[in-house]
Every structure is written in C-alpha cells, then in structure tokens.
Amino acid sequence: MTEAIHIALVDDDPAVLDSLQLYFEHHHVSAACFASAEMLLAGLDAGAKPDCIVSDIRMPGMSGLDLIHRLKERRSTAALILITGLGDIEMAVCAIKSGAFDFIEKPFDESRLLGSVQRAAALARQRAREAAENEELRSRFDTLSVRQRQVMELAVAGMSNKEIASRLDISPKTVENHRAWVMERMEAKSLAELVRIALKIEERAQGG
C-alpha cells in the first residue's frame, strides 16, 4: 500500500485553500491549510512535518521566495512548490535556483499540480532518509577518540598501517587495533565503504 502523502497549503485566499484541500483529499493527499508563510513556520515549530509545501509566491508579509530561504535555514526536508501569477515568473525562476522543487503558473492545471506534489513528496522522503542516515553516521563518528579519528582520516587518505604508525608515532599494532575499532564502530565492511562514509560526513560538515 502506498504511503499517504501529507502536504501544507499556503495561500492568503481562503477560497483557494478550500478548493485545493478538497481536490487533494479526493486524491488521497492529506492537506493542512495556512493563511500565510508565517503561520506555516509556526506550524513547523509546533511539530508539523509535511512531505511537500504548496505555496502562493506573492502574499502579504513573507513571500514564497522568502519562505524557501527560511526553510533552508531550518534544514527542512519538505519540498516547496510555488503557485505563481504571470508577473511572478522571474521571482519563481529565482526560487528554483534557490532550491524550490517546481512552480505552477495560474490558472493552474490541478492534475499537473498533483503530479508535481507526488514527485516532490518522493524527493522529500528521500532527503529525510539521507538526513537520518547522515545524522546516524555523525553520531557514530562522534564516539571515536581523537586518535581513532586520526587513524580513520589517514586510512581513507590511502595510507597503510605502517605509514599511519610512522605519521602518528605509534606502533603498527596500535594502528591495527584503532583501525579495527573504527571499521566496527562505523559499520564499514571494507576500506572503500569507509571512504564513502567519510565523504558523507565531510559533505554534511561543509553543508553547515
């Protein structure tokens, strides 16, 4: 059975919210409505976790473009789809470059919007899985001692146990023990896998 999709609808027009909510629920998509981007952010603070956010781009207060920047600051995994008027296309293109998933022009085709929501939800769930995996890797890495992290860093750089021992001024046997613990703690079955894990940890660190 396909997992239910949960979305957030953001628009200052109650009629638009009502019609979209009815349409989505008819297609087995649960939709929570918010009259502004600020109200959506408050909902996220209260624990709402939509797979996808569908927002008008031009609203009183915070715009859809402002919203995407706020979502990025929060490291939200929810994908954002913007509903735009003719005069908002340049703004929408800017939002896409900033990370929005899609923009749909008014008057929009509801079936196209539904398809975009389904694709966006699949992407958001993939992001959430990757974020959880990266957090787990970082948590495991944090349990390593300073020396074990040094051994890991040099091992993934391609150094042999003998070379690592010489660099750190410790015995090859000590390096072997540290390396075995690193492999076990990071759940790496090979050096190649440990290298991939190290790259993921580095990418996450560079991402802030």
Same domain flag for 14 and 45: yes
> Does an H or E element contain 52, and which?
strand 52-56
Q: How much helix, strand and coil, in percent to the nearest 5, is found in the chain?
A: 60, 15, 25
Give the pLDDT of residue 207.
58
Q: How far apart are alpha carbons 166 and 11 in whole angstroms?
A: 63
In the block, residue with structure tokens 């207060």: 61
Whether omega before 14 lies within 30 degrees of 0, making that bond cis, reads no
Residues of the domain holding 98: 5-129
Same domain flag for 25 and 110: yes
pTM to 2 decimal places: 0.69
CA-closest candidate to residue 57, choices 23, 35, 85 = 85
Count how many domains the chain has: 2
Q: Is residue 91 helix, strand or coil?
A: helix
Give the pLDDT of residue 1.
40
Instruction: Tell me if 207 sits within 8 A of 196, measured CB to CB.
Output: no
Any domain includes 195: yes
Domain boundary residue among 129, 155, 173?
Answer: 129
Same domain flag for 50 and 107: yes
Give the pLDDT of residue 108.
80
Any domain includes 135: no
* pLDDT tens, residue order, the chain (208 aa): 457 899 999 999 999 999 999 999 999 899 999 999 999 999 999 988 899 999 998 888 998 889 988 998 888 888 999 988 777 778 878 888 888 899 888 888 889 999 999 999 998 888 888 888 888 888 899 999 999 999 999 999 999 999 999 999 999 999 999 999 999 999 999 999 999 999 888 877 665 4
